[in-house]
């Protein structure tokens, strides 16, 4: 595994497809891809991997992101062959020539992905679809939308949403603590909700499609047409990992630990905020005349062990500060 995902992802969330790069590149090789379009490139972890592969394969890489992170801009500056488009997926898919492979990893909601798939299908109506690669086909996005910019999705196609949502596997609503999302559907499941649901809805409208799901790092999937000349080579590449039950258990285990780690940190943060409030109250009490009076009274009544004691409270406050 190359080191890029770790250095860019100190919490080891595993959000980048670079975590499955060996598999993804094997799929590109199986289909003989010479042009790849990455929708949603973020910091360019995967883009960097693709550029390395492209150099050995005389292939071209186009990355699309309306808000490229500084790391991606640096990557583009260092690799003049990379075409970086600061646009939305539907603008690019509607106009640019379709490549051999499209990696769909932009806005993870049913509407956006369905529109992307519809456009690709319309534009390749006379030929086979390009290889379609997806991320986030397992928990949490398989059956739950999230939105980078909800206003870009027409209101009638948006799920009721929650800002600053925290998600836990097994909880179809919003949890107190868990994996954080800026904007997620209030509930998991139901019609037109989630990435996998969008893929299944697309498959239901067409004949001859095959889907393989590799349940690792939030779920990697490839979708292809059986009539494509490379279909058998691709099927053989992904078959051993497709819905592999050992991988499924590993991913459930990984996600459980990831969510538990986030939850512990969020609980600690809540605890810290709470105790900082208490400390502020105690500190202002210490300086009050009411406290001086109460301490004097307390000393009078219980000389050896006063209930209200300034040194005891100061010592407690210092312990917390240290
Ligand atoms: C999960 S990140 C992509 C990660 C990257 N593919 C990787 O594997 O390292 C999703 C990116 O999609 C971008 N994005 C969101 N909506 C988009 C859209 N409609 N079209 C293209 N990109 C979009 C976001 O700005 C974000 O940087």
Q: Distance between CA 238 and CA 291 in Å, rounded?
A: 72
* Residue 96: predicted pLDDT: 82
* Residue 57: predicted pLDDT: 97
| Nearest atom, ligand 1, residue 89 CA | 20
* Residue 322: predicted pLDDT: 47
Helix (H) or strand (E) holding 250: helix 245-286
Terminal Cα distance for the chain, rounded: 40
Alpha-carbon distance values, 66 to 8, 38, 60, 313 (Å): 20, 12, 20, 54
* 100 exposure class (CB count in 10 Å sphere: 0-12, 13-18, 19+): middle
* Residue 1: predicted pLDDT: 39
Q: One digit per residue, pLDDT tens: the chain, 322 residues?
A: 344 555 678 778 999 999 999 999 999 999 999 999 999 999 999 999 999 999 999 999 999 999 999 999 999 999 999 999 999 999 999 998 999 999 999 999 999 999 999 999 999 988 899 999 999 999 999 999 999 999 999 999 999 999 999 999 999 999 999 999 999 999 999 999 999 999 999 999 999 999 999 999 999 999 999 999 999 999 999 999 999 999 999 999 999 999 999 999 999 999 999 998 988 888 888 888 888 888 888 888 877 777 777 888 888 888 755 4
> CB of 21 closer than 6 A to ligand 1?
no
Q: Is 197 left (phi over 0), alpha (psi -120 to 50) or beta?
A: alpha
- Of 65, 75, 84, best ligand 1 pocket probe by most atoms within 8 Å of the beta carbon: 65
Q: Is the pTM of this model over 0.85?
A: yes
Q: Whose CA is nearest to atom 26 of ligand 1?
A: 42
Beta strand 35-39 with 101-104 is parallel
> CB of 220 closer than 6 A to ligand 1?
no
Dist. CA 178 → ligand 1 center (Å):
22
Q: Distance between CA 207 and CA 156 in Å, rounded?
A: 28
> CB of 42 closer than 6 A to ligand 1?
yes
- Of 19, 41, 133, 221, best ligand 1 pocket probe by most atoms within 8 Å of the beta carbon: 41
The residue count for the chain: 322
Q: Tell me which residue has tokens 């209200």.
A: 308
> CB of 65 closer than 6 A to ligand 1?
yes
Candidates 254, 206, 46; CA nearest to 135 is 46
- Of 16, 92, 107, 119, best ligand 1 pocket probe by most atoms within 8 Å of the beta carbon: 107
DSSP 3-state assignment of 57? helix
Candidates 216, 67, 190; CA nearest to 136 is 216
> CB of 184 closer than 6 A to ligand 1?
no
> CB of 16 closer than 6 A to ligand 1?
yes
Dist. CA 85 → ligand 1 center (Å):
12
Dist. CA 109 → ligand 1 center (Å):
12
| Nearest atom, ligand 1, residue 45 CA | 9
> CB of 293 closer than 6 A to ligand 1?
no
* Residue 320: predicted pLDDT: 58
């Amino acid at each position: 595994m190359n080191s890029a995902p770790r250095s860019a992802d100190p919490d080891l969330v595993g959000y980048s497809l670079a975590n499955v790069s060996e598999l993804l590149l094997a799929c590109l090789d199986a289909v003989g891809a010479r042009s790849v379009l990455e929708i949603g490139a973020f910091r360019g972890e995967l883009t960097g991997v693709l550029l390395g592969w492209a150099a050995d394969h005389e292939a071209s890489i186009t990355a699309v992101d309306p808000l490229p992170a500084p790391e991606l801009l640096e990557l583009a500056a260092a690799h003049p062959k990379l075409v970086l488009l600061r646009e939305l997926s539907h603008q690019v898919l509607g106009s640019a020539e379709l490549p051999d492979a499209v990696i769909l990893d932009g806005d993870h909601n049913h509407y956006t992905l369905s529109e992307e798939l519809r456009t690709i299908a319309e534009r390749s109506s006379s030929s086979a679809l390009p290889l379609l690669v997806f991320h986030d086909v397992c928990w949490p996005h398989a059956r739950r939308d999230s939105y980078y910019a909800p206003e870009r999705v027409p209101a009638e196609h948006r799920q009721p949403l929650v800002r600053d949502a925290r998600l836990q596997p097994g909880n179809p609503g919003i949890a107190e603590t868990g994996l954080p999302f800026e904007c997620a559907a209030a509930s998991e499941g139901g019609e037109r909700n989630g990435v996998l649901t969008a893929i299944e809805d697309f498959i239901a409208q067409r004949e001859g499609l095959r889907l393989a799901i590799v349940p690792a790092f939030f779920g990697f999937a490839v979708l292809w047409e059986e009539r494509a000349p490379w279909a058998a080579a691709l099927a053989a590449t992904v078959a051993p990992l497709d819905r592999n039950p050992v991988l499924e258990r590993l991913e459930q285990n990984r996600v459980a630990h990831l969510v538990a780690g986030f939850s512990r940190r969020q609980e600690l943060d809540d605890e810290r905020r709470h105790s900082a409030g208490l400390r502020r109250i105690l500190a202002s009490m210490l300086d009050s005349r009411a406290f001086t009076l109460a301490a004097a009274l307390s000393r009078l009544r219980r000389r050896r062990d006063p209930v209200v004691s300034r040194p005891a409270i100061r010592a407690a406050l210092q312990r917390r500060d240290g």
